[in-house]
Amino acid sequence: MSNITSPKVTLKSVLRLNNNDFKEFICGWGAAVINVSITFPLNKIIFRQILEGVPAGTALQQLSQEGIKLLYRGILPPLCQKTLSVSLMFSTYEGCKQRLYMLTENELVAKILAANMAGAAEAILTPLERVQTLLQDWRYYDKFKNTPHAFKYLLTNYGVAECYRALVPIIYRNGCSNLMFFTLRDQSKVLLGNQESLLTNFICGALIGGFTSTVFYPMNVIKIHMQSKIGEPFEKFTAVSREIYISRNKSIRWFYKGVHLNYIRSFISWGIINASYDFLKTIIF
């Protein structure tokens, strides 16, 4: 008799949260805190390149002129967003994959559904990405003092919906990138076998994360252009894609402006996350 009809595997028992779910969440949270603290300045340079289409040297010069006081301006939203996002990403994926496999007995279906469920769960945190975009945009330096002030302004003047601007590209990005990341990550663990170490976990996470981030980089370009606007009518994903394409000399290559630094950041970021996550798992589990 299959597991799905076994008295030991019921829908109630599958859906029930357990101690492992909490442990997965904590491992993801810890890995994200380490990562954000190290990579935020690089992320800010990439943001300038995406928004203004300037070379890395120009973006770095702009930040240097603004000084160290403004370098970490806007770190609270990504610190909150990334820690919760990575926590949800790992815990939701691992938890859903295990439960879906018990119900369907199909590993591929379980992975695809789990990756998209994790992506949808992460999309709940869109308001934090929204505020991060506004705080990093130099055009709003005088308008918003800090994260609470930005949230208060958006909610008071435009409501909750404004906080979820660019939700569609975020859902697309999250679901697709999660599926690619976890598929390649699981495969790397099979290939490495018992040869896993802190260094190999860093290298695997770095290569996989850098590749995945590069593939779906245009989604971030579209997202940032949507979120850099306040109070304007909500735009369709296809309309914004076309607007960027036309404004950047009708070249797909311009969708990848800043991708080199993004790859470096993702390489470092996902290397840290992957190595830290697996290291914390060996301690907590």
Q: What is the mean pLDDT of residues 177-191?
A: 94
pLDDT at 164 over 90: yes
Q: Of 68-77, 78-87, 161-170, 197-206, which range is least confident? A: 68-77
**What average pLDDT does the segment 82-91 reach?**
92
Higher-confidence residue of 210 and 65: namely 210
Q: What pTM did the predictor assign?
A: 0.81
Question: What percentage of residues in the chain have a pLDDT greater than 90?
Answer: 56
CA–CA dist 173, 44 (Å, integer): 20
DSSP helix/strand/coil, 217? helix
What is the domain partition of the chain in residue ranges? Answer: 21-284
**Rounded to a whole number, what is the distance in angstroms from the first to the last CA of the chain?**
31
Distance CA 220, CA 252 (A): 14
Instruction: Give me the chain's average pLDDT, please.
Output: 88
Dist CA 135 CA 185 (whole Å): 33
**Does the structure show a pLDDT above 80 at 4?**
no
- Region 111-139: mean pLDDT is 92
More confident residue, 175 or 138: 175
- Dump pLDDT digits (tens) for 215-252: 999 999 999 999 999 999 999 999 999 998 998 888 88
Q: Which residue has the tokens 């909490």?
A: 22
Say what the pLDDT of residue 51 is: 75
For the domain covering 21-284, report its CATH number.
1.50.40.10
The pLDDT of residue 7 is above 60: no
Q: Using CA atoms, how far apart are residues 151 and 137, in angstroms rounded to an integer?
A: 15
What is the SS3 assignment for 143?
coil
Residue 127 has pLDDT above 90, yes or no: yes
- The arithmetic mean of pLDDT across residues 175-197, rounded, is 91
Q: Indicate the range of 6-15, 143-152, 255-264 predicted with least confidence.
A: 6-15
Q: How many angstroms separate the CA atoms of 178 and 182, rounded?
A: 6
Q: Is residue 165 over pLDDT 90?
A: yes
